[in-house]
Structure 1
Amino acid sequence: MATFQLELVSPEKLLLSRQVEMAVIPAAEGEMGVLPGHAPMIVTLRGGVIQVTENGQVTDRLFVGGGFAEVTPERCTVLADEATPVAELSRAEAETRIREAEASYAAAAGESPERQDAAMERLLSARAMLQAAQAA
């Protein structure tokens, strides 16, 4: 089966760089499947799970807290704000992040719409992290 190069980069390190059959990424507009020959685009990522498929099987599941993805017909490069294998997620850490994000969102009530949006993005990312941790 045809493959493309998938690279997942976080601020700390290069987490993944190999040929894969398919990747499903959490684009801001919804889940997006990437296959070889995909139309070129750049998308914003929301907090969620990237699923990597090789040999007809999901081989990797990685939580990303947001970021960007650049897709070309031969490559998909994900620049993640943070990235963690789903198996390493902590439910307690996710619950702590939710509490902190809820407090931050409440504090942003009188702030600019941009600050409110950023606080909401953190909250949604923390909720996605909890959901991924519970599913692991």
Structure 2
Amino acid sequence: MSATFDLELVSPEKLLLSRPVEMAIIPAAEGEMGVLPGMAPMIVALKGGVIRVQEKGTITERLFVLGGFAEITPGRVTVLADEATPVGALSRAAATARVKEAEAAYAAAATSATAEEREAAMDRLLAAREMALAAEAA
């Protein structure tokens, strides 16, 4: 049997996942990160993207997160997501609408907002685009 670690994915609404897995690929703010059992402890920020869960050598679950944090310890990974949805449940129409809203918000922020507000608007736009890509692939 392969080594495993406990993976928990929590959104503000509910606990979405809690079970032992072999590997998780998470959308860390610095880029995708593969998490394996025995990893060094760390806390990483997440960007909008898909968490892929691997069990028995196969990707068994794909969950879209809109950002958040992951706490990694050698035996457990806890993902605290701002928003999380199984990829299969994503709506293309809703994702497209979210991209349009984020584009409008970014355009408005580009001229009158502070640098931090523009950066936050860009983060929302990039996350919405990732959601649209995940919805298309589902």
Does TM-score exceed 0.5, indicating one fold? yes
- Residues in 2 aligned to 1:123 and 1:100: alpha-carbon distance in whole angstroms: 8
Q: What residue number does 1:113 align with?
A: 115
Within-5 A mapping of 1:67-86: 67-86=68-87
Residue of structure 1 in register with 2:62 after alignment: 61
Letter in 1 for 2:45: T
Instruction: State how far apart, in whole Å, the 2-side matches of 1:91 and 1:115 are.
Output: 27
| Equivalence for 1:13 | 14
CA shift, 1:50, in A, is: 0.2
TM-score by length of 2: 0.97
**2-structure distance, mates of 1:125, 1:93:** 13
Aligned Cα root-mean-square deviation (Å)? 0.5
Q: Which amino acid aligns with 1:75?
A: R
Q: Given residue 15 of structure 1, which amino acid in structure 2 is its aligned partner?
A: L
Secondary structure in 2 aligned to 1:39?
A: coil
Corresponding residue for 2:50?
Answer: 49
- Provide the C-alpha distance between the structure 1 equivalents of 2:88 and 2:27, rounded to a whole number of angstroms: 18
Runs of at least 5 residues in structure 2 that lack an aligned partner in the other structure: none
Q: What is the rounded CA distance, in whole Å, between the counterparts of 1:90 and 1:125 in structure 2?
A: 15
Paired amino acid for 1:13: K
What CA distance in whole angstroms lies between the structure 1 residues aligned with 2:40 and 2:115?
33
Partner of 2:3: 2
What is the number of equivalent residue pairs in this alignment? 136
- CA deviations on 1:24-78 (whole Å, 9 max, x unpaired) are 0000000000000001110000000000001111110000000000000000000
Report what 2:36 is aligned to: 35
Unpaired stretches in structure 1, ≥5 consecutive residues: none
Distance in 2 between residues matched to 1:111 and 1:58, nearest whole Å: 41
Letter matched to residue 55 of structure 2: E
Partner amino acid, structure 1, of 2:44: V
1:129 — aligned with what? 131
1:117 Cα deviation after fit: 0.7
Shift of 1:113: 0.6
